[in-house]
Amino acid sequence: MRIVILGGDGYCGWATALYLSSKGHSIAIVDNFSRRLWDFELGVQTLTPIRPLPERLSVWQQLTGRSMTSYVGDVCDFEFLRSMITSFQPEAVVHFAEQRSAPYSMIDQKRAVFTQVNNVVGTLNLLFAIHELAPDCHIVKLGTMGEYGTPNIDIEEGFLAIEHNGRRDTLPFPKQPGSFYHLSKVHDSHNIMFACKVWGLRATDLNQGVVYGTITDEVQMDEALINRFDYDDVFGTVLNRFCAQAAIGTPLTVYGKGGQTRGFLDIRDTVRCIELVCLNPADRGEFRVFNQFTEQFSVLDLAKLIQMVAREMDLKVEIDHLPDPRVEAETHYYNAKHSKLSDLGLEPHLLSDSLVNSLIEVAVRYRNRIDPAMFAPQVNWRAGKNERRTVSSMQPALSIVEEP
């Protein structure tokens, strides 16, 4: 298939592009490198030293003989997007190209507005461009499990059958997102559903849980193909942060009671899910929603698991409970359905199989790059305006592209 990966220089996008390329698909990567810029802006960097995209692509070509096309530009630039689609003629577009950090979106007014404009306008542009230029193309959009929040009922896959005043209907599942970022995904979902209805587009909204892991078959072929491992307070996800903390013997930063429960999946399952969805497209006019995660854990479950496994590796690990900087339920009911991807053939990897080699060992290998100042949360949901430190108040931190 001819598949465009919007956001292909990022964490999920890079692993997906390599995987789909290895399967023989013709791949185009689109990215404007904004994520590398936001890292620089905040003075943070991935634990793993990722290479510039041209170097990544050239190493991939040398190793496999497979080339990928790259288009450098902003999906919010409609003319850029139109010309890319005209030139590549995709059968599927996988849309990862958004600002994906909840804390980033909660720093202040500027970052909240930026997040929603970047995400909502990029997706709207994609809908208009596909409608005009490639109406049969399947849109595979990355949403998030966080769109649903934590209701006190089971979470269905996208839609809920309800009876109200004696009448029945099946309606979009109620959304209770917990950040301006998560809200941007809800807005996207509504726009995509509407475009499928009025223009007959085909789309799959993947409500993905928290992705973990660095190692995929393709990424581990060469150090130059290494993927991101974010552990800072803004872009670092909880498992990565706990593993980086364990690697240098800093207490694990559980926010509040730690009963916050989320869906998780291995990056190897992310790439496989995308493949399954591309190979089994939605029908014309169909808006599908799949919940894309494989296991659910509470934050405290994860901390205890890492403490146990890390101790077996002779790492000293304590658990701290910090005041929760977010506004979220610290204990709650959570039971989210996730059978549609298994029905298509997904065979999940379990955290217990990858915690050591894809997370803790990677954190230990690069532990001399860990900056413990990145562990304290600096973005408070309640503040509205956070004085988080930025690169202008720090030493230069641009070693991302310079280190071997």
Q: Strand, helix or coil at 278?
A: helix
Dig out the tokens for 317 from the structure.
Answer: 């690990």
Question: Within a 10 A sphere around the Cβ of 238, how many other Cβ atoms?
Answer: 21
From candidates 90, 122, 158, 348, binder to ligand NAD by CB under 6 A: 122
User: Rule CB under 6 A: is residue 74 a binding residue for ligand NAD?
Assistant: yes
The answer to whether 390 is a known catalytic residue is no
Residue 16 CB, shortest distance to ligand NAD, in Å, is 9
Say what angle helices 267-279 and 11-22 make with each other, to 10 degrees.
60
Least separation in angstroms between CB 91 and ligand USQ: 26
Answer yes or no whether residue 100 interacts with ligand NAD by CB under 6 A.
Answer: yes
What is the distance between the alpha carbons of residues 229 and 106, in angstroms, rounded to a whole number? 22
Query: From the list ligand USQ, ligand NAD, none, which binds 341 (C-beta under 5 to 8 Å, kind-based)?
Result: none
Q: How does DSSP classify residue 76?
A: T
Is 144 in the active site? Answer: yes
Measured from the CB atom, the residue of 93 and 238 that comes closer to ligand USQ is 238
Which one from 11, 71, 181, 231 is the annotated catalytic residue? Answer: 181
Taking the complex as a whole, the smallest distance from the CB of residue 65 to ligand USQ amounts, in Å, to 33
* Shortest separation between residue 202's beta carbon and ligand USQ, angstroms: 23
Which residue is closest to ligand USQ by CB? 146
* Sequence-ordered strand ranges (E) for 76-158: 92-95, 138-144
Among ligand USQ, ligand NAD, none, residue 74 binds (CB under 5-8 Å by kind): ligand NAD
Q: How many residues comprise the chain?
A: 404
Nearest to 226 by CA among 1, 6, 7, 18: 18
CA–CA separation, 93 and 30 (whole Å)? 10
x/- mask, ligand NAD, residues 124-163, rule CB under 6 A, reads ------------------x-x-------------------
Catalytic residue among 16, 48, 115, 144: 144
Instruction: Name the residue with tokens 């660095």.
Output: 214
Footprint (CB under 6 A) of ligand NAD, residues 208-237: 208, 210-211, 228, 237
> Which residue, chain included where needed, has tokens 């596909």?
130
Angle of the 299-312 helix axis to the 238-247 helix axis, nearest 10: 30
Cβ atoms of 178 and 146 closer than 8 Å: yes
Q: How far is the CB of 144 from ligand USQ (least distance, A)?
A: 3
Measured from the CB atom, the residue of 281 and 325 that comes closer to ligand USQ is 325
Residues that bind ligand USQ (CB under 6 A): 100-102, 144-146, 209-210, 237-238, 241, 253-255, 260, 262-263, 299, 326, 328
| Closer Cβ to ligand USQ, 180 or 255, answer by number | 255
Least Å distance, CB 118 to ligand NAD, is 5
Residue 96 as a binder of ligand NAD (CB under 6 A): the answer is yes
Beta carbons within 10 angstroms of residue 330's beta carbon = 17
From CA 393, how far away is CA 304, in angstroms rounded? 35
Please report how close the Cβ of residue 263 comes to ligand USQ at its closest, in angstroms. Answer: 6
Q: Is 45 in the site for ligand NAD (CB under 6 A)?
A: no
Contact between 93 and ligand NAD per CB under 6 A: no
Distance (Å, rounded) from C-alpha 100 to C-alpha 182? 8
User: Residues 6, 30: contact at Cβ < 8 Å?
Assistant: yes
**Of the candidate residues 3, 4, 5, 10, the single one contacting ligand NAD (CB under 6 A):** 10
Name which of ligand USQ, ligand NAD, none residue 254 binds, using a CB cut-off of 5 to 8 Å depending on partner kind: ligand USQ
Query: What is the rounded CA–CA span in Å between residue 221 and residue 33?
Result: 23
Distance CA 295, CA 277 (A): 19
Helix (H) or strand (E) holding 215: none
β-pairing verdict for 26-31 and 2-6:
parallel
Q: Catalytic positions, please?
A: 144, 181, 185
Residues that bind ligand NAD (CB under 6 A): 7, 9-13, 31-35, 74-76, 96-100, 118, 122, 142, 144, 208, 210-211, 228, 237
